[in-house]
Structure 1
């Protein structure tokens, strides 16, 4: 007797406390296994290495996934970097994610990933904060999208500890990108070299 293939859950979640591929630590990835785009609102419960809940820890997503707003496209992914504050925040090694709400929205599935990268003066990708002079954005899709961009500063690395986000600056205005387009945002001189990472998430489009 053949087993029926398992139907994947509507949403699947992956959390990585300490990155091994150059991505930020404490990265949350939510995959949408449906054909409907949604704006999810997430709830988090942090726990330690033994699986014990840490009730005094406040967990927030840099992209605001705990408040709702970031777009999770149909058959796509939404990433967020988590911040832990309060008593016991340095003990966090895992997080349980609950879907508090999911508003269905009219947005096409992405054909290719939208990207944001740190760039230097020659508009080449860089991982060196000292050479981080601008943000390179690419929308390879045949329709316009709206992005919200944030710059992250991390605490100094400590042995066997995830790097916590110490400061976040979100650009005041969302970025509307035309179909099959790229764009460069140059940083003001007074913040160059201060930040370690750039991240983005999609919003419901304001591009017409």
Structure 2
């Protein structure tokens, strides 16, 4: 397996070089910090620093609540002009209400499709609807560790047959397991995900480890793509 520059801490999104920031506004006059307040920002990082995944999109929640966002992602060039032929999707589906958005910065990763995709330097979130969740805003993220068939921890996800979800919270949480395959890095070209696949959604038990067996298809994809690309399994807190 080729080692990538794409090893990131899942807890925070780094606001790094080659990034652009956008603001989502709401027409209602509400207090800043409320879920319907004036701004949720997005920051796009096309090429990240070494050790982080390219094509990052950070969603910053300025409120004190855990929420979901349902809106449209719009690709723009360096001047801010809309690139209408470029389709934007994310690995975790944050913009479509499929991931919990906690107060502060929440990281996701972009896939672009269209003839002008190499011109994208900014991604904005438009017409967003925000829904407050009955989820503790101080919920901590769950750590995923790859295991072999005997439950032994592995260094890389490529050989995983099982995973361990370590939940530090004193209550169970719903976790989506997402498989990402990232192309081998090339100088000056973003290392975009070539494959994103939802593996399963499970409930991670409170204050402990939950072992999940990976299905045959997932194990096959990890091994097949892991020989030439960077493969990773990510835990996503689901609403």
Tell me if TM exceeds 0.5. yes
Whole-Å Cα distance in 2 between the matches of residues 52 and 182 of structure 1? 47
Aligned length: 193
Contact 1:44 1:96 in 2 (8 A): yes
Whether 1:165 and 2:193 are equivalent positions in the alignment is yes
Whether 1:22 and 2:57 are equivalent positions in the alignment is no
RMSD over aligned CA atoms reads 2.5
Whole-Å Cα distance in 2 between the matches of residues 90 and 10 of structure 1? 28
Whole-Å Cα distance in 1 between the matches of residues 39 and 170 of structure 2? 26
Whether 1:48 and 2:83 are equivalent positions in the alignment is no
TM-score by length of 2: 0.69
Counterpart position of 2:232:
197
Aligned pairs for 1:1-208 within 5 A: 11-73=40-102, 75-98=103-126, 100-117=128-145, 119=146, 121=148, 122-124=152-154, 126=155, 128=156, 130-171=158-199, 173-187=200-214, 188=216, 189-193=219-223, 194=225, 196-204=231-239
Whole-Å Cα distance in 2 between the matches of residues 133 and 99 of structure 1? 41
Could you tell me which runs of 5 or more consecutive residues in structure 1 were left unpaired when the two chains were aligned: 1-6
* Change over 3 Å in CA distance of 1:31–1:90 after alignment to 2: same
Contact 1:138 1:182 in 2 (8 A): yes
TM-score by length of 1: 0.79
SS at match of 2:164: strand
Of 28-37 and 148-157, more deviation after overlay is shown by 28-37
Contact 1:76 1:109 in 2 (8 A): no
